[in-house]
Structure 1
């Protein structure tokens, strides 16, 4: 269930994913669970997003997998699967993480757009652009999906599109409305590799100019004993952040998004992190970003 405001303590997702620290979990029949099945089997928090409008949005493993299944089904219906390349131009947020997991479930290749404008020539050959600023891609030859701003905590009350870059071109598909019509279960074949290995093979587009954080070495995430804290404000979903997130899920741990620009947290966000009980910082590779 997608919840707002509840304070469920963050704990281990309940079963480590295949390839994770404990070597994977088993189902009731004794068969080893795939990484997607392991996420889907967990009623415990996988993502908690504090980054939008001061609200707390929690997705259990089951709900995250449900969103990913719907996204994979939508990709399949629109003709995108193995061999397709999808460009994700998205800010950090729970919906972006669900979209990323859905792309992995559909076995498409993913590229991540930087926070700067990218022309069609610079984006290379892609089949689909998924963007929170669809107006910026209105002339791109690829198919276009528009992802509304914010977290859309109530899909029945979508937030208004703001700048001209965020306006929806007539040919764009609105993700929030279309994904709701998809089945909750995905029957596409699962990838034959681990989730971290899939993300490792994905790519970032090269930035073409200074972004919002140009010249700043912002630590975007902090590994904790029982989870990952991600500073989401102003951040983009890129390959390195995706690797940190899926590596955390692979260890059976949750991801917490906070409304900060770096992990030198304000007192308010430090209290949020303490309340989520993800523990003290731990020294794992990739902490400094």
Structure 2
């Protein structure tokens, strides 16, 4: 595995220069890279790869959809999604749009615990059907592999979505189908970029309070499980059974900000099995980063 091919002096993704010598924004820097940004091995056993360019394309479409639906700076969205390449693209799209994010980091989170939010983005939309906020449905299928070994271009990813089933048979009538709507958005986003770094944006986001949620997930004996590990040349994220929360989001964007990829492995924790250890070795992520 190689890094994104960008130099980010001072740990900020606005440090690279474009062909004209102009300093690129953090979003332009990610979008300019043909190198892997996300590699998902946790999607039905397939390897799904998104370059920085393709990840930024998905994020731009998501930001445009948020804007079309009236959600931008000053809006708060609740993200209730499992870990996967699509949820990471949604994360970047939310950052690009400048919205505030709350994470339903526990699957037992309920509408009563969500507080005042303007939009709920959920893989289980039926659970949020009575919530007064707008609702986007993201089916499990859109968070899994398309069946292709690599998604090197955004058009291939969108074609894959068209072949997937609709989010669920119980889709609330007022819910927007993210998979259908996002593909109709423009590939470029011309909204004003938030005036802060990507890590600073995510730092301000928050998890929903929940009696069931803990700082770290635990195994059956109550011992803490590690959700990710920093490597010399990337981040390993245990995706099986995991959910997108603030801690994981911070680790992910910090890795992108350093110019390295995020690799999702089919594990519950990062005490990796033989199979996932071989994945990490094959992706050339290096040793644990101290």
| TM-score, normalised relative to structure 1 | 0.89
* Distance of 1:75 and 1:23 partners within structure 2: 24
Q: How many residues align?
A: 271
1:18–1:34 Cα contact (<8 Å) kept: no
Q: Which residue of 1 aligns with 2:284?
A: 277
Distance 1:171 1:19, change over 3 A: farther
Q: SS of the counterpart of 2:121?
A: strand
> Runs of at least 4 residues of structure 1 off by over 6 A?
none
Q: How does 1:160-175 map to 2 (within 5 A)?
A: 167-175=170-178
What does residue range 66-215 of structure 1 map to in structure 2 within 5 Å?
A: 66-149=57-140, 150-151=143-144, 153=146, 154-159=160-165, 167-209=170-212, 213-214=217-218, 215=222
**2:250 corresponds to:** 243
Higher helix share: 2
- The one of 16, 19, 22 equivalent to 1:25 is 16
Checking the alignment, whether the CA contact within 8 Å between 1:222 and 1:281 is kept in structure 2 is: yes
Partner of 1:59: 50
Matched, 1:44 2:50: no
Instruction: Verify the 8 A CA contact 1:129 1:142 in the aligned structure 2.
Output: yes
Q: For structure 2, list consecutive stretches of 5 or more residues without a partner in the other structure.
A: 147-159
Give TM-score, length-normalised by structure 2.
Answer: 0.89
> Match for residue 287 of structure 1?
none
1:262 is matched with: 269
Q: Is the 8 A contact 1:117 1:136 kept in 2?
A: no
Conserved 8 A contact 2:13-2:197: no
Q: Distance in 2 between matches of 1:95 and 1:23?
A: 24
- Between 111-120 and 200-209, the greater mean CA deviation after superposition: 111-120
Q: Distance in 2 between matches of 1:64 and 1:100?
A: 10
1:115 CA displacement: 2.1
Q: 1:240 to 1:250 in 2, by over 3 A?
A: same
